[in-house]
Chain A
Amino acid sequence: MKQIWYYILVAMAKGPCHGAEIRRRVRELSGEAIEVYPAMLYGSLDELLSEGWIEELENEGGGRRRNYGLSGLGRERLAEETARIENVVAAANRALGSIS
């Protein structure tokens, strides 16, 4: 999974949000390390929508912005990816431990 996708999915895991909010959360999550530019963000959202990992939600606030949330499939994928990363991190820690 692409890094940016992972960040977006994590950002949405907290609850549905719109594009600008996703950007804010991703920056926060990454400790300001990742700047999400508009084209990259909306391109990714479009792809995630067509993969069926996220879905567009009814706009409760009535504003112009579209809200997005994780779909069931998206939640599964996020869990899988998180588990994979955990494995990688654990393996890395083990490897680092054995060296030191």
Chain B
Amino acid sequence: MIFFKILVRLFPENFRERYGEEMAEMFADIRRERGRWGALWFYPVAARDIVLEATRTRLRTPKTEKNNVWQFVHDLKSDLIFALRGLFKNSGFATVAIVTIAVGIGANAAVFSVVNGVLVKPLPYPESERLVMIFNRWTNLGVHRNAQNPGDFFDYRERTDAFESIEAIGSAYNQTLTGLGTSARVTTTSATDGLFDLLGARPALGRLFEEQDDHTRAVISHGFWQDFFGGDPDAVGRTFELNGQATVVIGVLENSFRLHVPAHMAWPQNISVWVPIRQFLGNAGNYDRTAHWMTTVARLKEGVTLATAQNQMDRVAAWQRENFAVRRDRAAEIEVVGMHAEIVSATRPTILALFGAVALVLLIASANVANLLIARSQSRKSEMAVRAALGGSRMRIFRQVMTESAVVASLGGLVGIGLTYIGVRFISAFVPADMPFVGNLHVDGSVLIFLLTVSAATVFLFGLAPAITASRANVGELMDSRGAGASGLQRKGAGGAIVVGEIALSVVLLIGGGLLVRSYLQVGKVNVGYEPDNILTFVAGEPPSLYQGTNAEKKEKKQAYLEMVKARILTIPGVLSVGTIWPTPLSGASDGSSTYTDNELAGDEQTQNASSQLITPGYFATMGIPVLEGRTLGLNDGGDKLVVDRNMAEKMWPGENPIGKRLKIGWWSGPVWGDVVGVVENVRTSSVTADDAETVYRKAVEYAYSPSTFVVRTEGDPAAMADIVRSTVQSIDVAAAIEQMRPLSAYVDEQMAPLRFVMTLITVFAFLATLLAAIGLYAVLSFVVGARKREMGIRIACGARPEQIVRLVLKQGVLVALLGTGAGAVLAIGLIRFLQSYLYGLQPSDPITMGVVVVLVGTVTVLATLSPAIRASRFDPVTSLKME
């Protein structure tokens, strides 16, 4: 029978259902009649019979379907004409519905452009899905995503085979460029020879790295070539100096090439000069295993999974722990992560939270239009019932209402395209500059396809309920209901429920928005420990004359230079004080932290991590950082005198006087001892919101090559002083390169950018949502009041006073609002954890935010309810009863 069961599947399903069983019986009968040998002959014949007949049956069906298609097209045409005519006649309804849907769709498509540009689009490198990044993890120190040392890099290359290639980038730092007629600070880095090939970079001019190149050879970026060589086609072979080192151009990169790295690496935006990494790696067989300054990028072999690569790296990590005590102490692991995922990892939750929030707006918009359509189909109930009675099939009526929804959605989508462009502009204005791939933010094909899909989806989202309601209409009900009275009351249930849902969703957004606004205000009021207003900052590259001589001479020259610049700046009228620091506070740049101990014999695990800040005299005074104990660093202090912050003092010597204590500093050139001479108040220099990190301040001049950021306290607007400060510094040496001249408050502002971005968008969504929900409430109550005209008339006729009628309607509105707010608050507490990372010093259940939202929703409810309520109180009993 298997033979039959398989073949019978050739028939259409309905045919099988109807005749299958009897056919099977007959089939069995015939086989029995034929006997064993006859049956052998029977099978092919029966097969032929089934195949032929099944084909005929299948061919027969399309004939009727073809008619259906024509009928369908015809119906569609008349539905469309009908829908357009209806919308045109009812232009008020049409405008509200189309604008509502357009706002929902436009806002969603605009946010999708961010999702698409940042999260969906692959990295601009060939076969980028196979690119991974490799990091160290110091499990015992709680440090993730740490850089590598040269030893690590060669371990990876020698001890794994999951990768097609493994390449490395050195750290990025700014150097002073001279020798091209001007002096400037440019961003430089180093890389292995194969990095460009790995990332698919090609030279626009000259060539890329080859084995014979050392650090005196450089590949330059397209931008650098334009800026400093004026796009000279003969740039290859020309020479410039980096921090005094003569460097020869061997190639120019294509314009399109950008190196994208994760935000946690805190890299500058664009690298101008690349030099080969080779001579920084040490000697083969004896690679440096102390300083971690390299980042590894690798390409997985075709077909190799991330898990396999991770497995191999786990084995490398185990081998390293076995062979190196430091790795054992730190419980070192190796992390292999997808490059794209890693680059967008910090931004992903934010973007998805925004996407979720904007989806709520669309949901509310759709609910509103559904409500409007139900109300409309209600008022057309008699029309529908008559059509049904005249033989209009439910399907036809259903389809007609759906067509109307489709027309609304299409027109909404069309208007939505325009709103999408505006939305993308709006988002671009607020998007934080350090968000990855901000350049990808525009309306493209994928965004339009998304828009189309969402428009189509909304047809079902808001069209289904009204279409079902309408297709259920029948004459009997119409006759029973004696006009709209009963059906009006009936439908209040559904409409009310929809509005409760709308209010709940908008309350979620309002609470989210409210919390973010509160956070923003809180962050703005954070005491960072210094006064960031009226401070001008800039990074000054030392003139090349400082790069000559012995180390001791360089230090001396540098100190003299810094003090001279400070003295000159102090002569500018309007300048109150000046000092220097490195790294620039709040700039995101970090000189990394060092380890400290006061115990000569301490191992790795007994050290205290602290942020290292290199300063010169005048820094604390300029920033207004209070000195708590001892003194600050003076002109005559060397690198052996230290100032610590209160955190560090309390961590190292709780309850003791820190002045005079000694600290061993784990410095790259070997441990250094220093004496604590002062304690200053904690300040926030890495981030406005991060908790204060332990900090140790040292004299900048000890480290000849590290740059210095000048902080200048001014009487008035620091930006206005920029030009005179610049010319003053360059009057000492024209070759002094000045970069990043900006008020310190600009860094504070930049820190607030991500929070401001999320806050602005969520708040805008929340207000859109509330507006839509209010319109929904107004529409439902207007409808209910209209439907209860007769009842109201009777009440008034029986002596009800107008204020009693107003109260009656208001009560309904308030009930709906209360239910919605309650549901929304519960939902919000569940959902707001997605925004948790943006909440500063607040709980999701923050009572102030909740209070404001309740008052806001209450006010909006009363406003939306008042007009229908007053209308109801003015019903003339005579006319409203005459209607019947």
Residues of A that sit less than 8 Å from B by CB = 18-20, 23, 37-43, 45-47, 64-66
Quick check: is B21 within 8 A (CB to CB) of the other chain?
Answer: yes
Residues of B contacting A42 in the complex (Cβ-Cβ under 8 angstroms): 15, 19, 22-23, 53
A38 B15 Cβ-Cβ under 8 A: no
Quick one: closest B residue to A22, CB to CB? B26
Most buried by B among A38, A46, A66: A38
Q: Measured between alpha carbons, how far is A93 from B57 in the docked complex, in Å?
A: 37
A20 B19 Cβ-Cβ under 8 A: no
Residues of A contacting B24 in the complex (Cβ-Cβ under 8 angstroms): 38
A19 B50 Cβ-Cβ under 8 A: no
Residues of A contacting B49 in the complex (Cβ-Cβ under 8 angstroms): 37-40
Residues of B contacting A65 in the complex (Cβ-Cβ under 8 angstroms): 22
Residues of B contacting A39 in the complex (Cβ-Cβ under 8 angstroms): 11, 23, 46, 49-50, 52-54
B18 A38 Cβ-Cβ under 8 A: no
Supply 10 further A-B pairs (C-beta < 8 A) apart from A19-B22, A19-B23, A38-B46: A19-B26, A20-B25, A20-B29, A23-B26, A39-B11, A39-B49, A42-B19, A42-B53, A43-B56, A47-B60
B57 A38 Cβ-Cβ under 8 A: no
Quick check: is B878 within 8 A (CB to CB) of the other chain?
Answer: no
Quick check: is B27 within 8 A (CB to CB) of the other chain?
Answer: yes
Residues of B contacting A64 in the complex (Cβ-Cβ under 8 angstroms): 21-22
A-B residue pairs in contact (CB < 8 Å), sample of 13: A19-B22, A20-B25, A37-B46, A37-B50, A38-B22, A38-B23, A38-B27, A38-B49, A39-B46, A39-B49, A40-B49, A45-B19, A47-B60
Q: Which of B27, B52, B57 contacts A46 (CB 8 A)?
A: B57
Residues of B contacting A47 in the complex (Cβ-Cβ under 8 angstroms): 60
Quick one: closest A residue to B4, CB to CB? A38
Q: Measured between alpha carbons, how far is A45 from B53 in the docked complex, in Å?
A: 12
Q: Measured between alpha carbons, how far is A45 from B56 in the docked complex, in Å?
A: 13
**Which residues of B, 5-31, contact A by the 8 Å Cβ criterion?**
11, 15, 18-19, 21-27, 29-30
Q: Measured between alpha carbons, how far is A39 from B15 in the docked complex, in Å?
A: 11
B30 A43 Cβ-Cβ under 8 A: no
Quick check: is B855 within 8 A (CB to CB) of the other chain?
Answer: no
Q: Measured between alpha carbons, how far is A37 from B25 in the docked complex, in Å?
A: 12
Residues of B contacting A40 in the complex (Cβ-Cβ under 8 angstroms): 49, 52-53
The 10 A-B pairs with the shortest beta carbon distances in the complex, nearest first, are A37-B49, A39-B53, A42-B19, A43-B53, A38-B26, A38-B23, A39-B50, A39-B49, A19-B22, A38-B27
Q: Measured between alpha carbons, how far is A17 from B657 in the docked complex, in Å?
A: 113
Q: Measured between alpha carbons, how far is A92 from B26 in the docked complex, in Å?
A: 37
Quick one: closest B residue to A24, CB to CB? B29
Q: How far is the CB of B731 from chain A (nearest CB, A)?
A: 102
A66 B46 Cβ-Cβ under 8 A: no
Quick one: closest B residue to A20, CB to CB? B26
Q: How far is the CB of B26 from chain A (nearest CB, A)?
A: 4
Q: Measured between alpha carbons, how far is A38 from B10 in the docked complex, in Å?
A: 14
Residues of B contacting A45 in the complex (Cβ-Cβ under 8 angstroms): 19
Q: How far is the CB of A56 from chain B (nearest CB, A)?
A: 10
Q: Measured between alpha carbons, how far is A48 from B157 in the docked complex, in Å?
A: 78
Q: How far is the CB of A19 from chain B (nearest CB, A)?
A: 5
**Which residues of B, 46-96, contact A by the 8 Å Cβ criterion?**
46, 49-50, 52-54, 56-57, 60
A46 B25 Cβ-Cβ under 8 A: no
Q: How many A-B residue pairs have CB under 8 A?
A: 55
Q: How far is the CB of B28 from chain A (nearest CB, A)?
A: 10
Q: Measured between alpha carbons, how far is A51 from B30 in the docked complex, in Å?
A: 28
Q: Measured between alpha carbons, how far is A45 from B23 in the docked complex, in Å?
A: 12
Quick one: closest B residue to A49, CB to CB? B18
Q: Measured between alpha carbons, how far is A75 from B27 in the docked complex, in Å?
A: 29
Quick one: closest A residue to B20, CB to CB? A42
Residues of A contacting B56 in the complex (Cβ-Cβ under 8 angstroms): 43
Q: Measured between alpha carbons, how far is A40 from B54 in the docked complex, in Å?
A: 9
Q: Measured between alpha carbons, how far is A40 from B46 in the docked complex, in Å?
A: 10
Q: Measured between alpha carbons, how far is A47 from B30 in the docked complex, in Å?
A: 23
B57 A43 Cβ-Cβ under 8 A: yes
Residues of A contacting B46 in the complex (Cβ-Cβ under 8 angstroms): 37-39
Q: Taking A40-B49, A40-B53 as contacts, is the C-beta distance between A66 and B26 under 8 angstroms?
A: no
Quick one: closest A residue to B45, CB to CB? A37
Q: Measured between alpha carbons, how far is A18 from B54 in the docked complex, in Å?
A: 21
Residues of A contacting B30 in the complex (Cβ-Cβ under 8 angstroms): 37-38
Q: How far is the CB of B27 from chain A (nearest CB, A)?
A: 5
Residues of B contacting A18 in the complex (Cβ-Cβ under 8 angstroms): 22
Q: How far is the CB of B50 from chain A (nearest CB, A)?
A: 4
B15 A46 Cβ-Cβ under 8 A: yes
Quick one: closest A residue to B51, CB to CB? A39
Residues of A contacting B29 in the complex (Cβ-Cβ under 8 angstroms): 20
Q: Measured between alpha carbons, how far is A43 from B60 in the docked complex, in Å?
A: 10
Q: Measured between alpha carbons, how far is A37 from B29 in the docked complex, in Å?
A: 11
Q: How far is the CB of B134 from chain A (nearest CB, A)?
A: 65
Q: How far is the CB of A52 from chain B (nearest CB, A)?
A: 14
Q: Measured between alpha carbons, how far is A84 from B29 in the docked complex, in Å?
A: 35
Quick one: closest A residue to B57, CB to CB? A43
Q: Measured between alpha carbons, how far is A37 from B27 in the docked complex, in Å?
A: 8
The digit string for B188-212, where 1 denotes a CB below 8 A from any CB of A, is 0000000000000000000000000
Q: How far is the CB of B32 from chain A (nearest CB, A)?
A: 12
Q: How far is the CB of A63 from chain B (nearest CB, A)?
A: 11
Q: Measured between alpha carbons, how far is A65 from B21 in the docked complex, in Å?
A: 9
Most buried by B among A19, A23, A46, A47: A46
Most buried by A among B11, B26, B30, B56: B26
Quick one: closest A residue to B42, CB to CB? A37
Residues of A contacting B23 in the complex (Cβ-Cβ under 8 angstroms): 19, 38-39, 41-42
Residues of B contacting A23 in the complex (Cβ-Cβ under 8 angstroms): 26
Q: How far is the CB of A33 from chain B (nearest CB, A)?
A: 15
Residues of A contacting B15 in the complex (Cβ-Cβ under 8 angstroms): 42, 46
Q: How far is the CB of B526 from chain A (nearest CB, A)?
A: 80
Q: Measured between alpha carbons, how far is A42 from B11 in the docked complex, in Å?
A: 11
Q: How far is the CB of A61 from chain B (nearest CB, A)?
A: 14
Q: Taking A37-B46, A38-B27 as contacts, is the C-beta distance between A66 and B53 under 8 angstroms?
A: no
Residues of A contacting B60 in the complex (Cβ-Cβ under 8 angstroms): 47
Residues of A contacting B18 in the complex (Cβ-Cβ under 8 angstroms): 46
Quick one: closest B residue to A47, CB to CB? B60
Residues of B contacting A43 in the complex (Cβ-Cβ under 8 angstroms): 53-54, 56-57
Residues of A contacting B25 in the complex (Cβ-Cβ under 8 angstroms): 20
Q: Measured between alpha carbons, how far is A38 from B50 in the docked complex, in Å?
A: 8
Q: Measured between alpha carbons, how far is A66 from B390 in the docked complex, in Å?
A: 35
Quick one: closest B residue to A65, CB to CB? B22
Q: Measured between alpha carbons, how far is A45 from B22 in the docked complex, in Å?
A: 12
Q: How far is the CB of A36 from chain B (nearest CB, A)?
A: 9
Most buried by B among A18, A20, A43: A43
Q: Measured between alpha carbons, how far is A66 from B298 in the docked complex, in Å?
A: 72
Quick one: closest B residue to A36, CB to CB? B26
Q: How far is the CB of B41 from chain A (nearest CB, A)?
A: 11
Q: Measured between alpha carbons, how far is A16 from B49 in the docked complex, in Å?
A: 25
Q: Measured between alpha carbons, how far is A20 from B24 in the docked complex, in Å?
A: 11
Q: How far is the CB of B10 from chain A (nearest CB, A)?
A: 9
Q: Measured between alpha carbons, how far is A65 from B23 in the docked complex, in Å?
A: 10
Quick one: closest A residue to B56, CB to CB? A43
Q: Taking A46-B15, A46-B57, A47-B60 as contacts, is the C-beta distance between A41 and B26 under 8 angstroms?
A: yes
The digit string for B619-639, where 1 denotes a CB below 8 A from any CB of A, is 000000000000000000000
B54 A66 Cβ-Cβ under 8 A: no
**Which residues of B, 608-652, contact A by the 8 Å Cβ criterion?**
none
Q: Measured between alpha carbons, how far is A41 from B30 in the docked complex, in Å?
A: 13
Q: Measured between alpha carbons, how far is A23 from B60 in the docked complex, in Å?
A: 23
Q: Measured between alpha carbons, how far is A80 from B26 in the docked complex, in Å?
A: 31
Residues of A contacting B26 in the complex (Cβ-Cβ under 8 angstroms): 19-20, 23, 38, 41
Residues of B contacting A46 in the complex (Cβ-Cβ under 8 angstroms): 15, 18-19, 57
Q: How far is the CB of B522 from chain A (nearest CB, A)?
A: 76
Q: Measured between alpha carbons, how far is A49 from B292 in the docked complex, in Å?
A: 85
Q: Measured between alpha carbons, how far is A23 from B46 in the docked complex, in Å?
A: 14
Q: Measured between alpha carbons, how far is A30 from B18 in the docked complex, in Å?
A: 28
Q: Measured between alpha carbons, how far is A66 from B20 in the docked complex, in Å?
A: 12
Q: Measured between alpha carbons, how far is A47 from B53 in the docked complex, in Å?
A: 11
Q: Measured between alpha carbons, how far is A40 from B47 in the docked complex, in Å?
A: 11
Q: Measured between alpha carbons, how far is A65 from B25 in the docked complex, in Å?
A: 10
